[in-house]
Amino acid sequence: MSRSRIVLAGVIVLLVAAFFTAGGHRYLSFETIKAHQATVQQYFQAHPWRTGLGFFAAYVAVTGLSLPGAALMTLVAGAIFGLLWGTVIVSFASSAGATLAFLASRFVLREWVQSRFGQSLRAVDRGIEREGAFYLFTLRLIPAVPFFVINLAMGLTSMRTATFYLVSQIGMLAGTIVYVNAGTQLAAIESPTGILSPGLIGALVLLGLFPLVAKRIVGAFKARRAYARWTRPARFDRNLVVIGAGSAGLVSAYIAAAVRAKVTLVEKHRMGGDCLNTGCVPSKALIKSARVLAQIRRARDYGLKSASAEFDFADVMERVQRVVRTIEPHDSAERYSQLGVECLPGEAQIVSPWEVQVKLASGELRRLTTRAIVIAAGARPFVPPIPGIEQVGCLTSDTVWDLRELPRRMVVLGGGPVGCELAQCFARFGAKVTQVEMLPRILVREDPEISDMVMQKFRQEGIDVLVGHKAKEFRVENGEKLLIAECDGKDVRIAFDALLCAVGRVANTTGYGLEALGIPVTKRMTIETNEYLQTLYPNIYACGDVAGPYQFTHTASHQAWYATVNALFGTFRRFRANYSVIPWATFTEPEVARVGLNVTEAREQGIAHEVSTYGIDDLDRAIADEEAHGVVKVLTVPGKDRILGATIVGEHAGELIAEFVVAMRHGLGLNKILGTIHVYPTLAEANKYAAGVWKKAHAPQRLLRRIERLHAWMRG
Ligand SMILES: Cc1cc2nc3c(=O)[nH]c(=O)nc-3n(C[C@H](O)[C@H](O)[C@H](O)COP(=O)(O)OP(=O)(O)OC[C@H]3O[C@@H](n4cnc5c(N)ncnc54)[C@H](O)[C@@H]3O)c2cc1C
């Protein structure tokens, strides 16, 4: 805690202590106040302004320091100043005092709370951002929640000070009037407890709930207005229409059929979407072939005199297609039809909130009526509008699979997971690869030393990794394709034969009816959804790449569960999409896998953490496999074994991370991992050893010293 915070905390403690030592709490008792009522009123008659200002200041001090007695002072205000002026003075003084307490709590405690409970606080802050003002209003009106608790607790959240002040002032007004009014009859009141009758409390509770209810009503009204220009069919042919048969759409249709809903799945291109046809599956098949080749080249590492491989790049790419064909039946229309899904090959167009028109391959148009729609239309590669890019031609993750001839020189634009995986593959097959990234490092979401491990390996393998290079222009000069990139204000010329653009993916949000329905998109150009994955129209849901924020197959199917269950059963119960533990992996060599926070993110978010690192170069199995490289890096809550995040670099990191995913999902700490038997010799032991590093750092030193002395004593 900083000096200024400690000083302020000290001043507040001193003032509170002084109040009690001076017997302030005795003056602020109901009996004392009643006894001195006449004297105070006389003083007020003689000095109205002085009394008013003094009372205001005292009220601000009591509430600002969270001292007891605010309710009594409100009664006194009624007794001295009457209903109108009493209300005015108390209303402003209580709001000012509450805001002071709010600011003090924020200044003194928020940083500390943030560092210890940052992750939980982030969820609270998200809620505050969405509905904080409404909750505060409700709390202010419900007299069950003490005034000072609300001030201090809200100071720990991200609520804006102006919002806090304004909502407090409005929210407390009803209660203030009730108390000030009661105070006008102070002489007749026997005890302050009787002021709020059960009926009055009930009325205030109802008033407090009103804004939340009103918000729901406004939401329903907005939806109603959106629906107003459409005619709802009297009945529906289907319970659900799913647009897109990629990872999200397939899972959505599967779930709907499993719970016996009538569901239609529309796909305009290929069943399986990106993951099967142009994403995860072909890329992993290509990576495997490239890895085998790289291993053969390392024959001497394994004690073999020599080994070589002859290959034809076209055969490798054919193998990739064979793998896709082998997996294809899992996602096929035949399989899904057997499961009870109606599969329609064609292009879907949402024509009303309950109608989807499908243009079949034959050109025939079919109109489907449905209670709900799940949009799972995916994303496509983004090709940046760099001058000359059209002239040189550009491969993307959609088209690179058609290559049958290995480019001699290749530029890979982009240092993200897709760019890195493909750059390494092509380099291993023998292309001269230049990877161009405008940021200072590749795999920028990972910690700098993790990016560095991958970059070192890439450079060892002959990839020219150019970070901090911004692609400016493409040209063809004397029949040669050139990229002009800018680095530190200077132009760098890179000659190439093929360009692969892997700079990100954009959601498919146009051309199928969203515009006509007025369904909004976010700043990141994904469909705007609420936490239940509903769009502006509550019966239209979106999931997968088209909805974001993640672009993985496993998050697409995870969201699909929420979208489908909410679409089919939302009338009875709705589920908020839960993104608390999301893992991912980049399948380069070395492989990089992560779940939860890394050090960079923990620092950015001000979350206190400890890091335990285990180097895989020390692991028996990794040494036996000639794969003794990489690291397991685990972030934990200081002094505790609770896992905040883990990053693994090395062989099969994507598999090894699963142990941390389970641990985080189910609240298991490093002690539990350490206490679990791991097969020897396996790579998975690295997780246990990382837990061991944490344990060693937290060994009870004082106890160990005593035990040491005990042993010495026992030796005689
Ligand atoms: C090279 C590469 C490697 C990847 N590797 C991995 C990986 O290792 N692990 C991982 O988790 N993720 C990986 N991904 C990401 C993963 O492929 C996507 O996150 C996932 O496929 C998204 O699924 P989706 O269902 O949201 O969208 P998609 O799979 O894109 O499916 C959307 C479908 O909707 C159809 N469609 C769109 N509009 C209409 C319409 N109007 N009518 C009918 N049909 C329509 C499209 O034709 C498409 O088939 C990779 C991606 C790429 C490009």
Beta strand ranges found along 169-314 (DSSP E) = 238-243, 263-267
| Bridge partner list, 464 | 434
pLDDT at 677 over 70: yes
Peptide bond into 384 cis (omega under 30): no
State which ligand 1 atom lies nearest to the alpha carbon of 247: 25
pLDDT at 457 over 90: yes
What does the pLDDT look like over 597-607, one tens digit per residue? 999 999 998 88
Distance CA 435, CA 466 (A): 6
Place of tokens 């993104």: 579
pLDDT at 289 over 90: yes
Ligand 1 geometric centre to CA of 440 (Å): 29
State which ligand 1 atom lies nearest to the alpha carbon of 274: 29
Burial (CB < 10 A; 0-12, 13-18, 19+), residue 451, is buried
Residues near ligand 1 (Cβ within 6 A): 243-249, 266-269, 273-275, 279-280, 283, 347-348, 376-379, 397, 418, 508, 512, 544-546, 551-554, 556
> In the predicted model, what is the mean pLDDT of residues 319-340?
98
If you take atom 19 of ligand 1, which residue's CA is the nearest one? Answer: 552
Q: Report H helices in 231-332.
A: 247-258, 273-277, 280-297, 313-327
Ligand 1 geometric centre to CA of 346 (Å): 17
Residue-level pLDDT at 111: 78
> In the predicted model, what is the mean pLDDT of residues 89-97?
95
Distance CA 523, CA 531 (A): 17
CA distances to 225, 227, 372, 512, 515 from 231, in Å: 12, 8, 15, 19, 18
Structure token pair of residue 384 = 């940046």
Q: What is the DSSP letter of 232?
A: P
607 touches 115 (CB < 8 A): yes
Considering the entire predicted model, what is its pTM? 0.81
| Residue 217 binned pLDDT confidence (cut-offs 50, 70, 90) | confident
357 touches 369 (CB < 8 A): no
Place of tokens 């309710």: 71
Distance CA 155, CA 168 (A): 13
State which ligand 1 atom lies nearest to the alpha carbon of 348: 42
Distance CA 635, CA 118 (A): 13
* 184 or 522, higher pLDDT: 522
* 309 or 116, higher pLDDT: 309
Residue-level pLDDT at 702: 92
Ligand 1 geometric centre to CA of 457 (Å): 29
500 touches 410 (CB < 8 A): yes
Residue-level pLDDT at 135: 80
Burial (CB < 10 A; 0-12, 13-18, 19+), residue 679, is exposed
| Residue 119 binned pLDDT confidence (cut-offs 50, 70, 90) | low
The residue to mutate among 241, 254, 280, 288, having the most atoms of ligand 1 within 8 angstroms of its beta carbon, is 280
Residue-level pLDDT at 220: 75
Distance CA 464, CA 424 (A): 11
> Which residue, 438, 289, 266, is CA-closest to 368?
266
Ligand 1 geometric centre to CA of 502 (Å): 15
The residue to mutate among 553, 564, 595, having the most atoms of ligand 1 within 8 angstroms of its beta carbon, is 553
Element (H, E) at 418: helix 417-429
Distance CA 498, CA 406 (A): 9
pLDDT at 31 over 90: no
Peptide bond into 590 cis (omega under 30): yes
Tell me the average pLDDT of the chain. Answer: 92
If you take atom 33 of ligand 1, which residue's CA is the nearest one? Answer: 244
> In the predicted model, what is the mean pLDDT of residues 200-226?
68
The residue to mutate among 242, 271, 274, having the most atoms of ligand 1 within 8 angstroms of its beta carbon, is 274
3 state DSSP class of 462: coil
pLDDT-above-90 percentage for the chain? 75
Q: Which residues of 157-192 are buried (b: 16+ CB within 10 A; e: fewer)?
A: bbbeeeebbbbbbbbbbbbbbbbbbbbbebeebeeb
What does the pLDDT look like over 243-275, one tens digit per residue? 999 999 999 999 999 999 999 999 999 999 999
State which ligand 1 atom lies nearest to the alpha carbon of 271: 49
> Residues 6 or more apart from 376 whose CB is under 8 A from it?
242, 243, 244, 245, 246, 248, 249, 252, 542, 543, 544, 546, 556, 560, 563
Peptide bond into 549 cis (omega under 30): yes
| Least confident piece of the model among 15-19, 116-120, 230-234, 270-274 | 116-120
448: Cα separation from own chain's centroid = 21
| Residue 2 binned pLDDT confidence (cut-offs 50, 70, 90) | confident
> In the predicted model, what is the mean pLDDT of residues 288-305?
97
| Residue 194 binned pLDDT confidence (cut-offs 50, 70, 90) | low
CA distances to 28, 519, 705 from 230, in Å: 63, 14, 78
User: What is the residue type of 93?
Assistant: A
If you take atom 37 of ligand 1, which residue's CA is the nearest one? Answer: 377
Place of tokens 């943030």: 114
Residue-level pLDDT at 446: 98
pLDDT at 628 over 80: yes
595 touches 661 (CB < 8 A): yes
| Residue 491 binned pLDDT confidence (cut-offs 50, 70, 90) | very high
pLDDT at 372 over 80: yes
Residue-level pLDDT at 201: 63
What does the pLDDT look like over 131-182, one tens digit per residue? 788 788 878 877 667 888 899 999 998 899 999 999 999 988 888 888 888 8
pLDDT-above-70 percentage for the chain? 95
If you take atom 47 of ligand 1, which residue's CA is the nearest one? Answer: 269
Residue-level pLDDT at 597: 95
Ligand 1 geometric centre to CA of 318 (Å): 21
Structure token pair of residue 398 = 């959609």
User: What is the residue type of 514?
Assistant: L
* 196 or 59, higher pLDDT: 59
> In the predicted model, what is the mean pLDDT of residues 690-713?
95
pLDDT at 198 over 80: no
| Least confident piece of the model among 15-24, 25-34, 342-351, 547-556 | 25-34
Region of 518 please: left (phi>0), alpha (psi -120 to 50) or beta: left
111: Cα separation from own chain's centroid = 21
| Least confident piece of the model among 150-164, 263-277, 443-457, 656-670 | 150-164
Structure token pair of residue 310 = 């002859």
358 touches 266 (CB < 8 A): yes
Residue-level pLDDT at 482: 98
Q: Say how many C-beta atoms besides its own lie within 10 A of residue 144's C-beta.
A: 10
Element (H, E) at 211: helix 198-228
User: What is the residue type of 104?
Assistant: A
| Residue 593 binned pLDDT confidence (cut-offs 50, 70, 90) | very high
